[in-house]
Chains A and B, each alone.
Chain A
């Protein structure tokens, strides 16, 4: 027996991120809350970065998913606070990212801020080497940085700690 609330969450959690399609919005940690009341659902999501252009698509995908699941009405609410962090990404999400060829975030974002950035080595998702180098902190989307592997010489995306 699946409760109504659990079912409503399951529908939202089945929606994938349009830019990193191996991840669901639950894996990514941007699905914040789902409330169900007599067939009417309110889903709360938060953007990864302020300018994330995927939010409109995710909203539409949520509406489609609930419609397909037989719900009468869904309201999608976007909130900014608390600000999203990669610490909310699930272990399953990190595993999927690496299998997809994107190095997942290393370590945690929630550490005391200081003047010196200490970054953990980023493992190449192709050959597993830790001999990698940041080419640019800005990658194909806001949430990724561009790296190259000094072992297999392939470039790869790294989902940066944020």
Chain B
């Protein structure tokens, strides 16, 4: 490293692509499988990065630890899914996370909703974790062995995330007048982004038994949400759906800022290790 290096004490190595890919068990993904894995991986990655924003800022220490743990689990899911997606064209999980632009991301708008106050984060967690639990429960029976393995692992962890979100929804919804008011506002704010999670398209048609048809998850999702909200003395919001376009690369305005923060270091120091 030269003494006039502006970036200081960072060693830069070539990306060890082979090592990154070695964890992808067995076969390489087809183009369609890679695209599907990107959708799921980006949902998990974006939500993980959002939750990490609560570290050192949560209302209490235990909650700080809980949200960080959930973020770490989601990062694990994202790594497995992006690694698999990368077997299609030889990109590593880091290439996919740090060197794709906003329009190349495939996350749904729900996960791009801002953290807001704690109630907004819990409302987003409730929708996200109930959806992911239904998704990974079904995907564990995928005809693709890699997706099935990732899902079977993830569903055990998402079970905790769902329980966490449900417990908080009950406490806030059935708590004080103020906590219920804020939880109600929060749920109403995230609800327009629910619909996008359950839209089928041609990709899912082509993948057949390897993927899960999003529309098939809706009734299970609705049943759980209805039961939780009933117990929380709340009601399912009656608001119009947003026209989310995340699967085709159209994103909520928050994603660009999130990626800028997440990607800046890797882009300034490609291949950096420390």
- The secondary-structure label for the interface of chain B is helix
Q: Is the CB of A49 within 8 A of B25?
A: no
Chain B residues closer than 8 Å to A162, beta-carbon distance? 156
Q: Is the CB of B22 within 8 A of A52?
A: no
> What CA separation (Å) do A50 and B65 show in the bound complex?
17
Stretch at the interface among A29-37, A96-104, A132-140: A132-140
Q: Is the CB of A136 within 8 A of B65?
A: yes
How many A residues are at the interface, by size bracket?
20 to 34
Which residue of A77, A78, A83, A139 has the most chain B CB atoms within 10 A of its CB atom?
A: A83
Residue total for B at the interface (Cβ-Cβ under 8 A): 30
Q: Is the CB of B72 within 8 A of A80?
A: no
Chain A residues closer than 8 Å to B23, beta-carbon distance? 78
Any B CB within 8 A of the CB of A82: yes
Q: Mark A141-162, 1 if CB is under 8 A from B, else 0.
A: 0100010000000000000001
**With known contacts A50-B73, A50-B77, A80-B25, A138–B66 Cβ distance under 8 A:** yes
**With known contacts A49-B73, A50-B77, A51-B74, A140–B156 Cβ distance under 8 A:** no
Query: Which chain A residue lies CB-closest to B48?
Result: A51
Chain A nearest CB from B129 CB (Å) reads 13
Q: Is the CB of B72 within 8 A of A81?
A: no
Q: Among the listed A47, A82, A135, which residue makes an inter-chain contact with B62, where contact means beta carbons less than 8 Å apart?
A: A135
Q: Is the CB of A83 within 8 A of B153?
A: yes
Which residue of B66, B69, B164 has the most chain A CB atoms within 10 A of its CB atom?
A: B69
8 A Cβ contacts from B10-27 to A = 22-23, 25
Chain B residues closer than 8 Å to A39, beta-carbon distance? none
> What CA separation (Å) do A158 and B134 show in the bound complex?
28
Chain B residues closer than 8 Å to A83, beta-carbon distance? 149, 152-153, 156
> What CA separation (Å) do A50 and B156 show in the bound complex?
10
Q: Is the CB of B76 within 8 A of A138?
A: no
Chain B nearest CB from A21 CB (Å) reads 20
Number of CB contacts from chain A to chain B under 8 A:
74
Q: Is the CB of A142 within 8 A of B72?
A: yes
Any B CB within 8 A of the CB of A11: no
Chain B residues closer than 8 Å to A137, beta-carbon distance? 66, 160, 163-164
Q: Mark A49-78, 1 if CB is under 8 A from B, else 0.
A: 111110000000000000000000000011
Which residue of A47, A51, A79, A162 has the most chain B CB atoms within 10 A of its CB atom?
A: A51
8 A Cβ contacts from B52-106 to A = 62-63, 65-66, 68-70, 72-77, 79-80
Chain A residues closer than 8 Å to B135, beta-carbon distance? none
Any A CB within 8 A of the CB of B148: yes
Query: Which chain B residue lies CB-closest to A53?
Result: B72
Chain A nearest CB from B188 CB (Å) reads 28
Residues of A participating in the B interface, judged by any CB pair closer than 8 Å? 47, 49-53, 77-84, 135-140, 142, 146, 162
Residues of B participating in the A interface, judged by any CB pair closer than 8 Å? 22-23, 25, 62-63, 65-66, 68-70, 72-77, 79-80, 145, 148-150, 152-154, 156-157, 160, 163-164
